Amino acid sequence: MAEIGWQPWHPLRIMNDTTLESRLDFYRRWGELEKPYFKWQLEQFAPYIGRRIGDVGCGLGNFVGFFREQEIYVGFEPDGEFVREFMALHGGKNITLAAHGDICTDEAVEEMRSNGLDTILCINVLEHIEDDACALSKMVDGVSRNGHICIIVPAFAFLYGSLDRLGGHCRRYSKKSLRRLALNLDVEVVKCHYLNFLGGLGWFIKGRIIREKTHGNENYRIMNMLLPVVSFLERHIKPPFGLSVVMVLRKA
């Protein structure tokens, strides 16, 4: 990930407090355990997702399954190990990976344009990129006119703790700081709100108070168990606090 200033994961993780796992194995485990949460994340963008999708920092392709009926899905991934795994896992005439996975390059912009992408997903990626302003600018340059850029990032700097360092996060955002990134770009902010108030509380306890240094399976299981209640409440009331910030931009 060094090509675009990404902060890498530590090469080893501890699973269930006993078994060492590689970074790739962690992402495999995370992808299986987080499927309900991925679905909820995408629900935030339901009215804005078109037929030609670009997925920035697609990793192992956690969102591919939701887009197999779309015209095209193009993943942008700079990590060679993840690229190989993605290609082994996913196939189909409308599923592809960009030749240039570094979103901060002109070549990536040209690939977005040549594929006529009307929707760019950037879910839990900007926080890994040192020059996040450049990354967002390139996405705006690449998406088609009237297309949407759908973003989720970690929220609130005071939540930054051991789990953020574990995940290689450069920063966390507020609604204000995320909006600021889009200020001088040719876009309209369609919506911007916090997501997952309960997850934010859990992250504070685990990352700032307990200072956990592993992502144990129980973290995901607890969230999946509580997700129906949390998602129902937040469907009707947008909280003033949350684990993440959600933002949708429309290109003018």
pLDDT tens column, 80-133:
999 999 999 997 789 999 999 999 999 999 999 999 999 999 999 999 999 999
Does residue 10 carry a pLDDT above 50? no
State pLDDT tens for residues 49-86: 999 999 999 999 999 999 999 999 999 999 999 999 99
Bridge partners of 55, per DSSP, are: 75, 121
What is the CA angle 23-27-33, rounded to 5? 140
By percentage, how much of the chain surpasses pLDDT 70? 92
pLDDT band per the 50, 70, 90 thresholds, residue 208: very high
State pLDDT tens for residues 148-177: 999 999 999 999 999 999 889 999 999 999
What is the CA angle 76-80-84, rounded to 5? 90
Residue 25: per-residue pLDDT? 86
Given CATH 3.40.30.10, say whether it is the number of domain 2-251: no
Alpha-carbon distance of 40 to 238, in angstroms, equals 14
Average pLDDT, the chain: 91
Does residue 31 carry a pLDDT above 60? yes
What is the CA angle 101-104-108, rounded to 5? 50
Does residue 27 carry a pLDDT above 80? yes
Residue 17: per-residue pLDDT? 44
Does residue 11 carry a pLDDT above 60? no
Place of tokens 């399976």: 217
The pTM for the full model equals 0.91
Residue 20: per-residue pLDDT? 64
Residue 176: per-residue pLDDT? 98
Identify which of 113, 115, 177 has the alpha carbon closest to the alpha carbon of residue 151. Answer: 177
